[in-house]
Amino acid sequence: MSLLEIEDLRIEFPGADDERLVAVKGVDLAVEQGEVVGLVGESGSGKSLTCRAVMRMVPEPGAISAGSVRFDGEDVLSLGTSKLRDFRAHSVGMIYQNPFGSLNPTMKIGAQIAETLKVNKGMKRDAAKKEAVALLDRVGIEDPERRARSYPHELSGGMCQRVMIAISTASSPRLMLADEPTTALDVTTQAQILKLLGKMRAEEGMAMLLVSHDFGVIAQACDRVAVMYGGHIVETGPVETIYHEPEHPYTRALLNSVPELDSAGNVQRRAALAGHPPELADVIPGCVFAPRCEHARPGCEEVSMKLEPVGPDHASACPVRPYANAGARAAEKSERV
């Protein structure tokens, strides 16, 4: 049994004239104890909604209309108010994309962490204040006693993200949901945050679902990856396999758009994926990627979008398998190296 099991998850929003707009369309996803799983795709693919569904925090007027979310065998979607509060406080932590927007601008950093400790762990004020400083030190903030007396606007984006990590790990959760935790940060700070999360995972055996649009971040931090497009997971497998032997045309397009360094150390931009992701109101029969796919054919209109095995622990929703030829794979791999 996996630590987190998402099965046939469907999330809808109301549209015009009683229309239902489906943002997440039958997603299956699992995270094992101590594992880091990446969820990657363009903006609007349904990544963050899938992540928030685990916490039952889908923003209104959206709603989970079908499927199940199980944590350590327990049905999260059926939890009562008290158990749901306990689940959010102790079992699962969440790091958001915008640390400035997640912190209270009118409260000092130490007070915000201490408040979390008092509510979630029942700590007394003095003990919570002392533990807040210890947590700031743990996430690598220099002079934590002084920083505990700072307001969010007095800290950099990277420091605020470290504060959010301190808050989200204060109760030693078994699963961390990291929703684009490095997007607003520079490259150096990104690497520091990913290193910190990796250290905490190693020390505590914490599992993680890491949401990102950046394949570089996913390759650096994750064990497995699920590629998401248009509300569907289109490919999943070990990071190494997906990176070197992608099966789905969308996965290949994402990888081909990742910037690379040339021999002189200069960043080389790659060709962007042509076209645009589907809108919620778009109704695309069969494969949702077909309008942008160079391998599209008439039969794509009847594709079920169900993942089918294409190798060990590797599955794809594309039955065409345009990259199944080993020679073609080797050639593409040598181009990326």
Read off the pLDDT of residues 291-326 as tens digits, 9 standing for 90 and up: 999 999 999 999 999 999 999 999 999 988 887 754
Instruction: Output the CA torsion sign for 54, 56, 62, 66.
Output: positive
182 domain-assigned: no
For the chain, what is the radius of gyration of the CA atoms? 21
Per-residue DSSP letter, 271: P
275 domain-assigned: yes
- What pLDDT, on a 0 to 100 scale, did the predictor assign at position 266? 61
Distance CA 148, CA 141 (A): 10
Distance CA 76, CA 85 (A): 11
195 domain-assigned: no
270 domain-assigned: yes
234 domain-assigned: no
Distance CA 267, CA 260 (A): 6
Domain span at 305:
239-337
**pTM of the model as a whole:** 0.90
- How many C-alpha atoms does 45 have within 13 Å on its Cβ side? 21
Closest-CA residue to 259 (of 179, 181, 170, 336): 336
Distance CA 128, CA 117 (A): 6
User: Tell me: the pLDDT tens digits for 11-37?
Assistant: 999 998 888 999 999 999 999 999 999
- What pLDDT, on a 0 to 100 scale, did the predictor assign at position 273? 83
According to DSSP, the β-strands at 232-238 and 267-268 are unpaired
139 domain-assigned: no
Rounded mean pLDDT for each run of 10 residues along the chain, 337 residues in total: 96 91 97 97 95 96 97 97 95 89 93 94 94 95 96 94 93 94 86 90 93 90 97 97 95 84 58 85 94 93 95 94 60 47
Distance CA 332, CA 320 (A): 18
- What pLDDT, on a 0 to 100 scale, did the predictor assign at position 261? 55
290 domain-assigned: yes
Domain count for the chain, please give it.
1
Task: With beta carbons less than 8 A apart as the criterion, state whether 224 and 237 touch.
Answer: yes
- What pLDDT, on a 0 to 100 scale, did the predictor assign at position 274? 83
- How many C-alpha atoms does 231 have within 13 Å on its Cβ side? 22
